[in-house]
Structure 1
């Protein structure tokens, strides 16, 4: 059996952002790295409506859908 070639699994999620499925989730740390912003700025953008509100899943951590973030980065409005 041959191994799939691709980015190493230990590579940060934001470096693999283009390869992640739309259903994947990004956590606060991932969002800060992706947007190159501090955590406080991230939450300011959410409050101002520039970013969608995160969902809190089973682990209680706020997370964003990769698909929604892709739309925001393309300039589309996401509610």
Structure 2
């Protein structure tokens, strides 16, 4: 189930984003970014529709996934 990021409180949204960027395996390449920079980057992707928050009711888990269709459209534009 897709959860519109704008419907979450600021604290809840930040918690979801922080959980996402702190997960082991999240790779930002060679350059080091602060937690604040990573959170801002993901928030920007959510605001531009390039990523979505997804809730899985079966497991009760929340994840952020890239919207591949929107990203491809933006690159082609």
TM bucket by the smaller chain? Answer: 0.3 to 0.5
Structure 1 length-normalised TM: 0.34
Which has the larger helix fraction? Answer: 2
Structure 2 length-normalised TM: 0.34
